[in-house]
Amino acid sequence: MSEPILPPPPPSVLGSLPDTEVGKHLNADLLAGQAYPPAEAIDASATLLSDHERHQADDVRDLIEEAMERFADTRTASDAWLAPRLHATLRLTRREAADSGIWNYLALRLAPDYVLWRFPPRKAKEPSKEEVNAARFSGQYHTQAFARLWWAAELFRDGPDYRPVEIFCSNQDMLGTTLRLDIALHRATAQALTLLLERGVVHTGREVNALAKAVNSAGTTLLFEVLAETAPSETGAYRDWVDRVGVHVPYERLPEGPPDGSVPPESVERLLVLFEKLFKEAPVRGKASSDEGVA
């Protein structure tokens, strides 16, 4: 963009924009970063969320603006900061978060400038063909700009503790590879993978990909749920947390997440032993040649 363009004034309440309506607003000018969708047109296509008190838009918009300001020079680093705070600010139930319309609305109405900032138009030989991947505005939960952060926080938090989310989202290879796999749905597996990253067992993108592939393959034959039990979800506790409106989400420290979904440490330790063994046996591209050089 030669000159900055201002996003439309934010709405007061969040809404849902159906997938069937997205095509009307996801045009070439937007994908090229040259214009934002008309707010009035999206408002006419969207439905405001019914719980207005819980779904106020101001705090969400303020949080997004804070992320863009803080990480102006390190955009990928914003994921680890924004994911837990976005989760704590939105206060969505899992059923609500499964509605792609909410994420469409956030990306196309509330903060299209964030999507263009975080995922700028991809370079092309011809500048006229440089554009943002449309799936960042409206796509699967592991690709869409906001859904990926919310679900990473939901699946990788350890109960109310968002610290594992920071660790997970700090590695773009782990975030981009693991979140789309079924193994991320098992909380003990998610915690074990995060610990392997934190402890430095895996470092590079190739190592992360090899680990995720090995664990995912093993997960088709091994019942991780039996090997490493996790505490059942406490629906009531989660709902009580969701209904707590007006909670200030801190910027300088991690917020407190829902008080359900904590993983017993012994379950994580069992999986750590297994996953380290799987990783040692997994083929890592370039690993053999480097090992020979050290020897």
pLDDT digits (tens, 9 = 90+) for 6-18: 888 999 999 999 9
Residue 294: predicted pLDDT: 33
Nearest Cα neighbor of 31 from 139, 179, 180, 149 is 139
> Does position 69 have pLDDT exceeding 80, yes or no?
yes
**First vs last C-alpha separation in the chain:** 51
Give the mean pLDDT of 202-217.
92
How far is residue 159 from each of residues 169, 234, 238, 259, 260, measured CA to CA in Å?
17, 10, 10, 5, 5
Q: Percentage of the chain surpassing pLDDT 70?
A: 89
Counting residues of the chain whose pLDDT is more than 90, the rounded percentage is: 76
Whole-number pLDDT of residue 235 = 80
User: What is the CB-side half-sphere exposure of residue 39 using CA atoms within 13 A?
Assistant: 13
pLDDT, position 234: 75
The whole-number pLDDT of residue 295 equals: 29
- For the chain, the domains span 1-122+129-156, 157-286
Confidence of residue 126 (pLDDT cuts 50, 70, 90): low
Binned at pLDDT 50, 70 and 90, residue 284 comes out as: confident
Residue 158: strand, helix, or coil: strand
CB 50, CB 64: distance < 8 Å = no
Position 26 pLDDT exceeds 90: yes
Q: What is the pLDDT of residue 124?
A: 61
Task: Name the band, by pLDDT with cuts 50, 70 and 90, for residue 79.
Answer: very high
Integer Cα distance of 116 and 136 in angstroms = 9
Structure-token pair, residue 106: 């956030």
Q: Is 55 helix (H, G, I), strand (E, B) or coil?
A: coil
The Cα 60–Cα 12 span in angstroms is: 10
| pTM as predicted | 0.91
pLDDT over threshold 60, residue 42: yes
Say which residues have a Cβ less than 8 Å from residue 203's Cβ, sequence separation at least 6.
Answer: none
